[in-house]
């Protein structure tokens, strides 16, 4: 599904060059659940942003379904991003002026889907994550766990093949975190590919594969067993 070859990402802080990723090679198969861990500054979020086409590598090739998308133009990349990926963030990134239903409808609006279809699909997705009683509530009227459920529903709006989650439980209490990870695990069991960045070792037990990054390089890539430990 995804193949990265020699992905390097460099940027400058003043006159100092920072290499966030350093020649990363990676393959992700359809249906996998991959967790990414590493110390602060290891390149975790940069890798996730490049996977989701939110950022572009300085060098290297990124093949999505055998197409090198580093060669695409901005408009083509925006289409790839909207059609192939769903995003979940630690800070939820919901529009505060919109209701839960309207927030979930937003990606479908950019995809050009009719309003009636957007509304029906959004209601179905919110019901799937247990938010069918909160359709008309705005983010300030929802708990952190409820906001993240809305964010998950929104990430599924255009039926993406891959969900990318950056610390999705970072702001949540333990019980809310378990609920959110249970939803993601069920989505994966239904065939959705999931890649999650986390600092919490307990979160990796929900996945099937664990990558460890350090200094912009993958230093470990191992399966996770049924016990939740690296195999």
Q: What is the largest CA-CA distance in the chain?
A: 53
| pLDDT beyond 80 at 119 | yes
Residue 230 lies in a domain: no
**pLDDT, the chain, mean:** 92
Question: Per the structure block, which two tokens stand in for 221?
Answer: 């890539």
Report pLDDT for 228: 56
Angle between helices 100-110 and 144-155 (to 10 degrees): 20
Specify the pLDDT at position 83.
Answer: 87
Assigned domain for 228 exists: no
Residue 137 above 70 pLDDT?
yes
**For the residues 23-47, what does the mean pLDDT come to?**
95
Please give the pLDDT value at position 55. 93
pLDDT digits (tens, 9 = 90+) for 156-173: 999 999 999 999 998 888
Split at pLDDT 50, 70, 90, the class of 226 is low
Three-class DSSP labels, 108-153: HHHCCCCHHHHHHHHHHHHHHCCCCCCCCCCHHHCCHHHHHHHHHH
d(CA 211, CA 121): 34
Confidence of residue 231 (pLDDT cuts 50, 70, 90): low
Q: Is residue 15 in a domain?
A: yes
Structural domain contains residue 151: yes
What span, in angstroms and rounded, lies between the C-alpha atoms of 31 and 26? 15
Q: Is residue 214 part of a domain?
A: yes
pLDDT tens digits, 1-34:
999 999 999 988 888 888 999 999 999 999 999 9
The pLDDT value recorded for residue 171 is 85
Write the CATH number for 139.
3.40.50.300
| % of the chain beyond a pLDDT of 90 | 77
Does any domain span residue 47? yes
What total number of domains does the chain contain?
A: 1
Query: 209-214 and 59-64 as β-strands: parallel, antiparallel, unpaired?
Result: unpaired
pLDDT category at 122 given cuts 50, 70, 90 is very high
Identify the domain containing residue 12 by its residue range.
Answer: 2-223
Q: Which own/partner pairs from 182-188 qualify as long-range (CB within 8 Å, at least 24 positions apart)?
A: 182/206, 183/129, 183/149, 183/152, 184/33, 184/152, 185/33, 187/156, 187/163, 188/31, 188/33
Whole-prediction pTM: 0.89
**For position 221, what pLDDT does the model report?**
96
Q: What is the DSSP string of 11-45?
A: EEETTEEEEEEEEEEEEE-TT-EEEEE--TTSSHH
Q: Does 164 map to a domain?
A: yes
Question: Is position 8 within any domain?
Answer: yes
Q: How far apart are CA 94 and CA 148, in angstroms?
A: 9
- Residue 90 or 195, more confident: 195
């Amino acid at each position: 599904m995804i193949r990265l070859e020699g992905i390097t990402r460099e940027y400058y802080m003043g006159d100092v060059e920072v290499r966030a990723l350093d020649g990363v090679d990676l393959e992700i198969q359809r249906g996998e659940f991959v967790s990414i861990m590493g110390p602060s500054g290891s390149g975790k979020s940069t890798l996730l942003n490049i996977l989701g086409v939110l950022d572009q590598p300085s060098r290297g090739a990124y093949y999505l379904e055998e197409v090198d998308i580093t060669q695409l133009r901005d408009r083509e990349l925006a289409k790839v991003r909207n059609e192939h990926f769903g995003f979940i963030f630690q800070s939820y990134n919901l529009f505060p002026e919109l209701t839960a239903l309207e927030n979930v409808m937003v990606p479908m609006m950019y995809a050009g889907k009719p309003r009636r279809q957007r509304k029906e699909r959004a209601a179905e997705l919110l019901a799937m994550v247990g938010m069918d009683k909160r359709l008309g509530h705005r983010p300030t009227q929802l708990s952190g766990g409820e906001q993240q459920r809305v964010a998950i529903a929104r990430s599924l709006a255009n039926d993406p093949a891959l969900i990318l989650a950056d610390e999705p439980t970072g702001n949540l209490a333990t019980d809310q975190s378990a609920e959110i990870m249970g939803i993601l695990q069920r989505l994966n069991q239904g065939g959705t590919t999931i890649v999650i960045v986390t600092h919490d070792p307990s979160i990796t037990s929900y996945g099937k594969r664990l990558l460890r990054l350090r200094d912009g390089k993958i230093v470990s890539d191992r399966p996770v067993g049924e016990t939740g430990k690296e195999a």
